[in-house]
Each structure stands twice: as C-alpha cells, then as structure tokens.
Amino acid sequence: MTLRLATRRSPLALIQSRYVQQRLAELGTDSELVLVETRGDREKDVELSTLGGQGVFAVEIQRALLWNEADVAVHSAKDLPSATPKGLALVSVPQRLDPADVLVGRSLAGLGPGATVATGSPRRRALLLERRPDLEVIPLRGNMATRLGVAGKNGVDAVVAAMAALERMEESTLVSERLDPLWFVPQVGQGALALEARSDDDKTCQALDAINDVAAFKAVRAERAFLGELGAGCSIPGGASADVENGTITLRGVMLAPDGTKSVRGEVVGDDPHALGTQLARLLRDEMGGGALLGWES
C-alpha cells in the first residue's frame, strides 16, 4: 500500500510531510506527496482575518481526501478548523514539538519604547500589547523564511514565530527569546501535526495510528474542544495549551481584547479531553466575563 499524503507546497509544510513519510517508512508503509495549493497560499497579501481565519490552509487539503485524490491530509494542527468535515477523522498526532512562541530579532526586554514587532496573528498581537502597550505591532504574511527575513529590516525590530517551525527548519539559533507559554499562551494545536483520513478507510487509519503519540493526541483534542466550544477562528484573540502527564491533562487558556487592554485566563485539570476543553471555554467566556469582554453573547 502506498499512501497519498496531501500537503501544502510551502517549504515548512514539505518538511513536515517528509517527516510523516519517514515515520511511516520506518514501519514499512510507503507514501508519496500530493501537492495542494490552498486559498491561504494563493492570497498571500491578504490578512488572515480578512480571509476568514482558520481553514484557509486546510479546506483544499481536506477536499483532496473527500474526492479520493489523496488518502491522508497532513496539516499543521493550528491550521485546522474547529469542526472536522463529515466523512473525515483526525486519526493521528505524531510527537509534538515545543508549542511556545518566540521572538526573532530582539528579546522583549531588548525592544525599546515604541519598537516595531511584526505578526499576522491577532492572538500574538494582543498578548504583546498586554505586556508592552507601547509597541507598534504591524501585520505580516508570507512563508516562514520570508517572515523570518523581515526581522531587523525596514524598521522592523522583531518578528513573532512558532518555536516548532524554527526547530523543523533547523533555524533555532535565530531565537532571541522563548516567550513563556504560561503567559504567552500558544495557539490551539501549535507545535503539532494533525493527520486526517477518511473515517471509513480502515487500512489508512491503522497505518496512521502506528505513528500516533497518545499524549500529544489528547492534548490537541482538549485544545480543539476549547476552540470548538468558542466557535472561534484565528481572528479571535485567544489560545489554549495542554500538558499531559500520566494520562492527566492540564489545560490553560486565554481570551483577550484585540488591543490587549483586558484579558481572562483559566486552567482546568482532568482526563477527558473534550469535557475539559468545553469546560475551560465556558469558564472563560461565561463565568469570567470573556464573552462580554469581546462583545459576544454568552
């Protein structure tokens, strides 16, 4: 059996997909890449919030599975919409890398008053302004190499990126500061790969299950349940990150005003990923006033 792996064409996406190929090959499963162009890749000059947030890097890849043009969808877990399309299943999350965010160019303390930081993420923008309201935070798009190249040029002092992306690209030496995820709560799924298959494709699901990391899978499920309960995409300033130890999940989350002036944070502990994610979302949105903070209905 040769599995067809649907993936984006970006350099980072190809590195991630070749990693999945390697893991499968170690267990005797051959695979080939099916390159897919997503809306997010085509419209590189449009801010993600304008494009509609989550899904712009995933929908076409999921469609390749539904149309039987591929057998496996290889995603960055943070790019997945909160709801899985009918007929597909999230089957596997291989070993997860560090989910933290980092600064490239300068550390937070090294940024002078009014310094310019670039990021395309509303969550990152709000978290930066929460701690440093003096900063000028400007939008940023493009593949990882393009974004990293912005730091230190044309008046941009620093760029925010994912630690896992730099690790996969072997560019960790560029990190000026790792931002503490207890404060700078990561995006749902950050640092993880998410492998989808058709829910009735037993052979493919079995092959993917062999490279699944149980703890990482639990963590991502809890984070995605948080996102699903909020019904929020990446245009909403919020994040959640789970740690799993001996089967126990600790899930932390944050919701912020877009300008970082107000925020609510919470933490829940348990063993049911879906129940925990739902509980934390309701805690922040309803009990701690996050809904009113962002102008949502409770």
Residues with catalytic function: 78-79, 123-124, 141, 147, 234
For 21-90, give the secondary structure using H, E and C: HHHHHHCCCEEEEEECCCHHHHCCCCCHHHHCCCCCCCHHHHHHHHCCCCCEEEEEHHHCCCCCCCCEEE
Sign of the C-alpha dihedral, residues 187, 188, 193, 196?
Answer: negative
At 289, the amino acid letter reads G
Lookup result for tokens 């057998």: 71
Tell me the β-bridge partners of 6. 34, 73
Q: State whether residue 4 is helix, strand or coil.
A: strand
DSSP calls for 227-265:
HHHHT--TTSSEEEEEEEETTEEEEEEEEE-TTSS-EEE
According to DSSP, residue 286 is labeled: I
| Bridge partners for 23 per DSSP | none
Asked if residues 17 and 4 have their Cβ atoms less than 8 Å apart, the reply is no
Helix (H, G, I), strand (E, B) or coil at 101: strand
